[in-house]
Chains A and B, each alone.
Chain A
Amino acid sequence: MSTRDELLALLLENARYSTEDLARQTGADTDEVAAAIEELEASGLIRGYQAVVDWDRADQERIRALVELNVTLDRETGYDDIAGRLVKFPAVKSLRLVSGDYDFALEVEGDSLREVSKFISEKVAPVPEITQTVTHYIMETYKDRGLEMGDGHDDGRLSFSP
């Protein structure tokens, strides 16, 4: 694995590893690490860094929904055109074209059930090419972006063993 791939794997694991920690783990020097990260960012391979939040632990309510979208295309409108419209909304957290029974998988986030419902009915459903929306509200998150949301496991090992 190249240093660049190794760095990418480590940043996916924890984007807040310091340059020094990344250097220690990969055996590269800190200048190399800094340059490689700069390159990954400049090339657009790394799009950004975000916290993975366990909203169940926050006082603030956070509503997320997965929405299945079916669309009908015409000669002038393609998937990219529809996607281009939807991604501009801040409430849209992810949008993917998928294979299977529907066309787009949309993830929406808002402060309340009402806000999310309103967004889907007023902003998404009226898009002319969208023929059907099926909304699934997320009731519990067990794992998000590779991170488990539970309490984690306690280390039950003896503090010394041979």
Chain B
Amino acid sequence: MKIADRVQQIPPSGIRKFFEIAEEMDDVISLGVGEPDFTAPWAAREAAIDSLKAGKTSYTANRGMRELREEISKRVSTQYDLSYDPDDEILVTAGASEGLDVAFRALVDPGDVVAIAQPSYISYVPGVTFAGGEPLPVATREEDDFKLTTELLSAHGVADADMVVLCYPNNPTGAIMTAEEMAEVAAFVREHDLTVLADEIYADLTYGDDHTSIATFEGLRERTVVFNGFSKAYAMTGLRLGYAMAPPEVISAMNRVHQYTMLSAPTTAQYAALEALRSCDSEVVEMRKQYNRRRQFVLSRFSEMGIDCFEAKGAFYVFPECPWDDTDAFAEALLEEQGVALVPGHVFGDSGEGHLRVSYATGLNELREAMARIEAFLG
């Protein structure tokens, strides 16, 4: 059977080989996961169960349950100073990932150039390609703490692009952007009339400065789609629930794609999300506190081992330099000899080459053992 060209041109995920090795092994400590090790707050789980007991098993409105959209609107208004109308400016999706895919398909025409700040989450480039667009990687640098700068945007020709994708706090580097740094990017975007897709799925997980959304800057709200969700902050990855916020005409276009593919996000998950927003913030605070301790632990251990690692201030990753020239060989040998799984940085784009993504979304005892094994491996 013929496979579509746009699918064939996307290579299989770079982590597949490592996954297959790890599956064959016992006693693997995985620092390769992009999801919390906590369980979703009980109140959210209970709300999901109650919704099932009450027989809430039908579709919801395409855009998501109205009361959930209202709660999202209230939340982003108080937390990020963003104002979105629950009726026509919010779309509930099956994870932020579906939201991004829908946005690419709704907003990108064949040949449109979509700049992507890299290293980045692995789905952006395929998402643009599937939509017929042309991905334009914008390599951020360790010397800039993996932040996006106007200098980088200019150097990569983003002024002539149609769209730019941002992900801060960043997967895989853990980088965040301060309000001042974000303001400069916002000015560039405005000057060159770009559309912005801002993936803010890790917005609740910062250690120090609070997250600043690019949509809060003058003239940016009308050209930005903001994505967020419940996977990371509320440890609800498997429930697949996210949302997108944008001006009415954009949400309307995205909803057209969404309604013909997903119809509506899972109803059970929407009830869980509603409860999460209403009553689970103390759990988020506790999880963030735990992540922060682990972050400091891991950064300190890499420093003791003499491995360069900039101070990640968001998400739950650090992105140290690889001690070997060949990151794949290092990751493979570390996995096979010591049973420690981590991800080579190039999986997240060429600019990640020479680094490793280390997730600290795992218990401190495991982290301590993993770091001891890495130290032993280095000799």
Contacts and interface: CB of A to CB of B under 8 A. Distances in A.
A157 B362 CA distance: 11
A25 B32 contact: no
A2 B34 CA distance: 30
A24 B32 contact: no
22 contacts: A21-B297, A21-B364, A21-B368, A23-B300, A25-B293, A25-B294, A25-B296, A25-B364, A27-B300, A155-B30, A155-B362, A159-B19, A159-B22, A159-B23, A159-B32, A159-B341, A160-B19, A160-B22, A160-B32, A160-B343, A161-B35, A162-B121
Interface string A130-160: 0000000000000000000000010101111
Contacts of B364: 21, 25
Interface residues of B, number: 30
B159 interface: no
A160 B13 CA distance: 11
Chain B interface secondary structure, helix, strand, loop or mixed?
Answer: mixed
B30 A162 contact: no
B301 A157 contact: no
Interface of B: 13, 15, 18-19, 22-23, 28, 30, 32-35, 37, 39, 121-123, 171, 237, 293-294, 296-297, 300-301, 341, 343, 362, 364, 368
**Most chain B beta-carbon neighbours within 10 Å: one of A153, A155, A159:** A159
A25 B360 CA distance: 12
A26 interface: yes
A144 B28 CA distance: 30
B35 A24 contact: no
A26 B297 CA distance: 8
A27 B296 contact: yes
B330 to A, nearest CB: 15
B18 A26 contact: no
A10 interface: yes
Nearest to B13: A162
Given A21-B368, A25-B297, A162 B37 contact: no
A80 B294 CA distance: 43
A157 B33 contact: yes
A157 B122 CA distance: 19
B34 A162 contact: yes
A161 B32 contact: yes
Contacts of A155: 30, 37, 362
Nearest to B22: A159
A24 B292 CA distance: 11
Nearest to B343: A160
Q: Return the 6 tightest CB-CB contacts between A and B, nearest first.
A: A24-B300, A159-B22, A159-B30, A160-B32, A25-B293, A160-B15
Contacts of B28: 159
Interface residues of A, number: 15
A24 B372 CA distance: 14
Contacts of A23: 300
B122 A162 contact: yes
A26 B207 CA distance: 13
A151 to B, nearest CB: 15
B22 A24 contact: no
B39 A153 contact: yes
Contacts of B121: 162
Contact of B297 (A24, A157, A162): A24
From A21, A153, A158, residue with most partner B Cβ within 10 Å: A158
A157 B293 contact: no
A157 B35 contact: yes
A10 B293 contact: yes
A155 B39 CA distance: 10
A161 B34 contact: yes
Given A26-B293, A162-B122, 20 more contacts: A10-B293, A21-B297, A23-B300, A24-B301, A25-B294, A155-B362, A157-B30, A157-B35, A157-B37, A158-B19, A159-B30, A159-B32, A159-B341, A160-B15, A160-B18, A160-B19, A160-B33, A160-B341, A161-B32, A162-B171
Residue from A155, A161, A162 having most chain B Cβ neighbours under 10 A: A162
A21 B369 CA distance: 12
Contacts of B171: 162
Contacts of B18: 160
